[in-house]
Amino acid sequence: MYWEQDKECMPRADLEQLQLERLQSTLYRVATHVPFYRRKFRELNIDPDGFRSLEELQTLPFTTKDDLRNNYPYGLFAVPLRDIVRVHSSSGTTGTATVVGYTKNDIKNWSNLTARVLAGAGVGKDDVVQIAFGYGLFTGGFGLHYGAERIGASVIPISSGNTKRQIQIMQDFKTTALICTPSYALLLADTMLEMNININALDLRFGLFGGEPWSEGMRNEIQTKLNIIATDNYGLSEVMGPGVAGECQERKGLHINEDHFLIEIIDPETLEPVEPGETGEVVLTTLTKEGFPVIRYRTRDLTRLIEEPCPCGRTMRRMERILGRTDDMLIIKGVNVYPMQIEAILFDIKGTEPHYQIIVEREGRLDKVTVMVEVVESIFFDQMKKQRQLVDLIKSRLASELGISVDVKLVEEKSLERFEGKAIRVIDKRKL
């Protein structure tokens, strides 16, 4: 299902023309209205009026989270505050919050882009959409809320938390589409299982999950447990919020809304673009934002681009699911390890539950990693031998795929903490 077919399926040549036009006027605006960019362009001797092709994007400076923090709260706004109709703030996953502002047109574009994501995932005007993302300063709730309303769906703005009530409402209000973090979807599923609720009696058909990285194994688990089509969507408040990219029902990567955002994938070390299809850090430039445009924002999210066209007919390129964050990256005994790699392996092994925690410590001068993973009850109460075998299996899989040895501890079901928002998977005691 398309929302704006003429745009989502536009020929690449037309898209590139549009991107160039929009980028040129964005550069003019930031150079005129945002002192930070004006200074940066001057320092680097960049003439924003001389910008002639999308390939020249690489000559422009990056914008980082620190730049946003240094200009807290309104320093990077490109319009006077009186033109701002909404202020949001980053979820503060890492450190100090950052502030972003939206004009009336920004909110309109945002609604359209989240509507694209929702329509691509299967949501239509007959759907009842339960939005269990937090409302408030976090962009997740409001962003998808606008899109769902734009489509004409019935929106339940329940916000996050209160799992029992979520389930009650899901049953009573005949929710057909659930929107939350993937880890919360699993928590809902497990709670319903515990409450002996017949999943098949629910009206639920679609789930749109985002806000944290998740694996294919986790998708399968959610799809089976909730009997739905689960799609991934991506966004970040610094760039707009949800609506930057989203999966279509093919579920083979997230279509980037390239008419509104330019994407680059760079090597986070060298800052050079990676080879096509290689994994690296996502860098985004906004093309239509009025209130808070950003040039080459380093997202710290890691993924790769999929250049092949998608069978769904959209011409917007896809990116693979977020594989992790550059600041999630653990350097263990000199090896780069992402929690998502560990998750993918755990999901592959029978008998484990999709709840885990990675603990990194330093013993003497050596790093030590312990993966705590929940296992199904039957194994836990069974003989020691079976447990031993499972531990060995996980250890050897992790060792062969990560290249480092890892300790594995099996824990009882539900003994690890559950999260209503973004899950905390890594505890790095080395820094404490």
Partner 1 sequence: MLKIKNLEAGYGKLRVLKRISMHVDPGEIVTIIGANGAGKTTLLYTISGIIKPTDGEINLFSTSLDKIKPEKIVSMGCSLVPEGRQVFATMSVKENLILGSYVQSKKKGYDKEGELQNIYNIFPVLKERKSQLAGTLSGGEQQMLAMGRALMAKPKLIMMDEPSTGLAPLIVKDIFQIIFRLRQAGNTVLLVEQNAKAALGIADRGYVLETGKIILQGPAQDLLDNNDVQRAYLGRDVDSQGASCEV
Residues of this chain that bind partner 1 (CB under 8 A):
14, 17-18, 20-22, 24-25, 28-29, 32, 49-52, 79, 82-83, 103-105, 108, 288, 290
The CA distance from 167 to 173, in Å, is: 10
Residue 239 neighbours by CB under 8 Å, 6+ apart: 261, 284, 286, 294, 297, 299
Closer residue to partner 1 in complex, CB, 50/311: 50
**Shortest Å, Cβ 22 to partner 1:** 7
Structure-token pair, residue 126: 């007959």
What is the smallest separation between the CB atom of 103 and partner 1, expressed in angstroms? 7
Minimum separation from the CB atom of position 33 to partner 1 (A):
9
Burial class (CB in 10 A: 0-12, 13-18, 19+), 387: middle
Q: How many CB atoms lie within 10 A of CB 417?
A: 9
Cα distances from 285 to residues 58, 61, 292, in angstroms, run 11, 11, 11
Is residue 284 within 8 A of residue 244, CB to CB? The reply is: yes
Least distance (Å) between residue 30 CB and partner 1: 12
CB nearer to partner 1: pick between 21 and 275? 21
For the CB of residue 41, give the shortest distance to partner 1 in the complex, in Å: 15
* Backbone Cα Rg of the chain: 22
The conformation of residue 328, written as its DSSP 8-state character, comes to T
Nearer to partner 1, 32 or 94 (CB): 32
In the bound complex, what is the minimum distance in angstroms from residue 31's beta carbon to partner 1?
Answer: 11
Residue 259 vs 301, nearer CB to partner 1 = 259
Nearer residue to partner 1 within complex by CB, 104 or 430: 104
Q: Which residues pair with 358 in a beta bridge?
A: 371, 426
Nearer to partner 1, 147 or 339 (CB): 147
What is the number of H-type helices and E-type strands within the chain?
Answer: 12, 21
Nearer to partner 1 among residue 104 and residue 333 (C-beta)? 104
Q: Is the previous residue joined to 73 through a cis bond, with omega within 30 degrees of 0?
A: yes
Output the smallest distance, CB 82 to partner 1, in A: 6
Residue 409: CB partners within 8 Å, gap ≥ 6? 370, 371, 372, 373, 391
Nearer to partner 1, 23 or 218 (CB): 23
Least distance to partner 1 from the beta carbon of 378, Å? 59
* Residue nearer to partner 1 on the CB measure, 102 or 184: 102
Least spacing, CB of residue 49 vs partner 1, in Å? 6
Phi and psi (nearest 5°) for 130?
Answer: -95, 115
CA distances from 293 to 25, 83, 211, 261, 317 (A): 11, 14, 21, 10, 22
Q: Which amino acid makes up residue 8? A: E
